């Protein structure tokens, strides 16, 4: 069976851990969108791995990982990540990791523009990860991007960089900021090319071969549905499609290649960066969840905004992605809380609604309507559903009924073993 694992909230749902578990049942793991803005954490015994560009599947022996064409690749970040993983004893050889020729490259000016745009926006800033993601996708869609396949030919690469930097420098001149040296960038990217070349493949044909040969594929989503450029809280979103559509455009695999869609749902909600978040808790409870759940960004270290679980959001993600089953994560973080709330609708213009208004200004006016639950002592480390306290089961079963889907995985700790399979 080929599975897609994606985030149902604003990212950081615990996709890394779930992908790591499901990798056991897959042969090939593919990332289809995003870039090094992602931070997927996997804890195995005393080791903690944080994956940004490389699929979390790399941690399991014998599995092949693919960075698909829909991903934007910062070679600097890739090389650093590879080194870090190797230092931790992970095999990151080109036999088990492939990079799509068609993927776009993140360039130094993308990173610089990302930072500058944010400072220009001031209070209205998006709160990006400053990894150059937005500008790299902008170049892709403006048809001015430089792709991984361009690294395969030094002359072509130099011409493309020169042409693009000429235009970029016109913009720099307009805004009175320091220009870029195309020679410096060319030299840097020649070095990157040497490191990346062994990994570069036509992954569209490779993946379709895998599919044809009935080897199992696991699609690893980054970010979450509410950060989707089309379906999220625009403009406070990322610049790709973390939702299901991205899995097709970002790999070249047909829709028939996905048999099952799994949405990862954190037992509460977090968000990094700006934008509306109706169930946000700006109080001691929010701080409690942040501390207990270690809700600090895996990529930027920023404190994550925390709040109660929002089921309007989860139901929306289930709808747009055609979700088949769900994975619940971080249930243990709610252990010991007396009263737990879940958002089941919004109060909007004096009425109760169950949808997400498209206009951001209107969404910002939505107030959460809560259903209250009694808390429980401990779920930490539980491995069987029967072990869970009754109140935790009530919480879980309410969510399942509300969304109309079952949790087939329940995570009760960061470790691989702290997991219930149903």
Question: According to CB under 6 A, which residues from 280 to 309 bind ligand IMO?
Answer: 298
Out of Mg ion, ligand GDP, ligand IMO, none, what residue 14 binds, judged by CB under 5 to 8 A for its kind, is: ligand GDP
* Region from 38-46, 98-106, 343-351, 390-398 binding ligand IMO, contact rule CB under 6 A: 38-46
Instruction: By CB under 6 A, name the one of 7, 68, 252, 286 that touches ligand GDP.
Output: 7
Residues 266 and 221: their CA atoms lie apart, in Å, by 15
Out of ligand IMO, ligand GDP, Mg ion, none, what residue 272 binds, judged by CB under 5 to 8 A for its kind, is: ligand IMO
* Region from 7-15, 148-156, 282-290, 359-367 binding ligand IMO, contact rule CB under 6 A: 7-15
8 A C-beta contact, residue 318 and residue 310 = no
Interface with Mg ion, residue 39, by CB under 5 A = yes
Interface with ligand GDP, residue 330, by CB under 6 A = yes
Interface with ligand IMO, residue 251, by CB under 6 A = no
Instruction: By CB under 6 A, name the one of 60, 131, 216, 266 that touches ligand IMO.
Output: 131
The angle formed by the CA atoms of residues 118, 73 and 31, to the nearest 5 degrees, is 110
Instruction: By CB under 6 A, name the one of 9, 14, 148, 237 that touches ligand GDP.
Output: 14
Helix (H) or strand (E) holding 344: strand 339-348
Interface with ligand GDP, residue 43, by CB under 6 A = yes
The least distance separating ligand IMO from the CB of residue 15, rounded to whole angstroms, comes to: 6
Interface with ligand IMO, residue 238, by CB under 6 A = yes
The least distance separating ligand GDP from the CB of residue 304, rounded to whole angstroms, comes to: 9
Instruction: By CB under 6 A, name the one of 2, 3, 6, 12 that touches ligand IMO.
Output: 12
8 A C-beta contact, residue 64 and residue 203 = no
Instruction: By CB under 6 A, name the one of 3, 6, 9, 13 that touches ligand GDP.
Output: 13
The torsion of the CA quartet 151, 110, 145, 123, rounded to 10 degrees, works out to 160
Instruction: By CB under 6 A, name the one of 34, 35, 39, 368 that touches ligand GDP.
Output: 39
12 is catalytic: yes
Interface with ligand IMO, residue 38, by CB under 6 A = yes
Instruction: By CB under 6 A, name the one of 14, 39, 68, 276 that touches ligand IMO.
Output: 39
Interface with ligand GDP, residue 414, by CB under 6 A = yes
Report the SS3 class of residue 11: coil
Q: Could you give the residue ranges of the DSSP H alpha helices within 24-153?
A: 75-87, 108-121, 133-141
40 is catalytic: yes
Instruction: By CB under 6 A, name the one of 168, 272, 281, 369 that touches ligand IMO.
Output: 272
The least distance separating ligand IMO from the CB of residue 413, rounded to whole angstroms, comes to: 19
DSSP-assigned states of every residue in 248-292: HHTT---GGG--EEEEEEESSEEE-SSS--TTB--SHHHHHHHHH
8 A C-beta contact, residue 369 and residue 343 = yes
The torsion of the CA quartet 295, 130, 186, 72, rounded to 10 degrees, works out to 70
Nearest Cα neighbor of 215 from 53, 102, 70, 66 is 66
DSSP-assigned states of every residue in 128-160: --SSSHHHHHHHHHTT---BGGGGG-HHHHHHH
Report the SS3 class of residue 171: helix
Residues 147 and 250: their CA atoms lie apart, in Å, by 14
Interface with ligand GDP, residue 412, by CB under 6 A = yes
Residues 419 and 380: their CA atoms lie apart, in Å, by 10
Task: For residue 88, give every residue at least 6 positions away whose Cβ sits within 8 Å of its Cβ, in sequence order, or none.
Answer: 47, 49
Q: Nearer Cβ to ligand IMO, position 273 or 368?
A: 273
* Region from 81-89, 189-197, 198-206, 324-332 binding ligand GDP, contact rule CB under 6 A: 324-332
Nearest Cα neighbor of 262 from 32, 2, 26 is 2
Which residues are catalytic, by number?
A: 12, 40
Which chain residues interact with Mg ion by CB under 5 A?
Answer: 12, 39, 298
Which chain residues interact with ligand GDP by CB under 6 A?
Answer: 7, 11-17, 39-41, 43, 294, 298, 329-330, 332-333, 411-414
Which chain residues interact with ligand IMO by CB under 6 A?
Answer: 7, 11-12, 37-40, 126-129, 131, 133-134, 222-224, 227, 238-239, 272-273, 298
């Amino acid at each position: 069976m080929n599975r897609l694992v994606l985030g149902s909230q604003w990212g950081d749902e615990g996709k890394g851990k779930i992908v790591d578990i499901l990798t056991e049942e897959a042969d090939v793991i593919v990332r289809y969108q995003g870039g090094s803005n992602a931070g997927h954490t996997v804890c195995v015994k005393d080791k903690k791995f944080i994956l940004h560009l490389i699929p979390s599947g790399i941690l399991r022996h014998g599995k092949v990982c693919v960075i698909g064409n829909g991903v934007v690749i910062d070679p600097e970040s890739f090389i650093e990540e590879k080194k870090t993983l190797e230092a931790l004893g992970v095999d990151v050889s080109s036999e088990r990791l492939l990079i799509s020729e068609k993927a776009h490259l993140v360039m130094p000016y993308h990173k610089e523009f990302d930072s500058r745009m944010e400072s220009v926006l001031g209070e209205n800033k998006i709160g990006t990860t400053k990894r150059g993601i937005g500008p790299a996708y902008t170049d892709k869609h403006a048809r001015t991007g430089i792709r991984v396949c361009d690294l395969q030919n030094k002359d072509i690469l130099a011409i493309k960089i020169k042409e693009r930097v000429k235009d970029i420098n016109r913009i720099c001149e307009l805004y009175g900021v320091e220009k870029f040296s195309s020679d410096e960038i060319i030299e840097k990217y020649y070095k990157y090319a040497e490191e990346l070349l062994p990994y570069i493949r036509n992954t569209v044909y490779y993946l379709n071969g895998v599919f044809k040969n009935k080897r199992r594929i696991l699609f690893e989503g980054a970010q979450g549905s509410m950060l989707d450029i089309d379906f999220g809280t625009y403009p406070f979103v990322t610049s790709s499609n973390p939702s299901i559509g991205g899995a097709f455009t970002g790999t070249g695999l047909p829709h028939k290649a996905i048999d099952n869609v799994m949405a990862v749902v954190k037992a509460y909600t977090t968000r990094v960066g700006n934008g509306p978040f109706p169930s946000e808790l700006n109080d001691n409870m929010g701080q409690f969840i942040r501390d207990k759940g270690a809700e600090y960004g895996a990529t930027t270290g920023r404190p994550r905004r925390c709040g109660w679980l929002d089921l309007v959001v989860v139901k929306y993600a289930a709808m747009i992605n055609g979700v088949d089953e769900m994975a619940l994560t971080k249930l243990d973080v709610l252990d010991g809380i007396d009263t737990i709330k879940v958002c089941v609708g919004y109060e909007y213009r004096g009425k109760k609604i169950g949808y997400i208004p498209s206009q951001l200004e209107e969404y910002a006016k939505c107030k959460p309507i809560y259903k209250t639950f009694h808390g429980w002592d401990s779920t930490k480390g539980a491995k069987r559903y029967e072990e869970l306290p009754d109140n935790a089961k009530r919480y879980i079963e309410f969510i399942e009924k509300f969304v109309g889907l079952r949790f087939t995985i329940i995570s009760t700790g960061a470790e691989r073993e702290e997991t219930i399979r149903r």
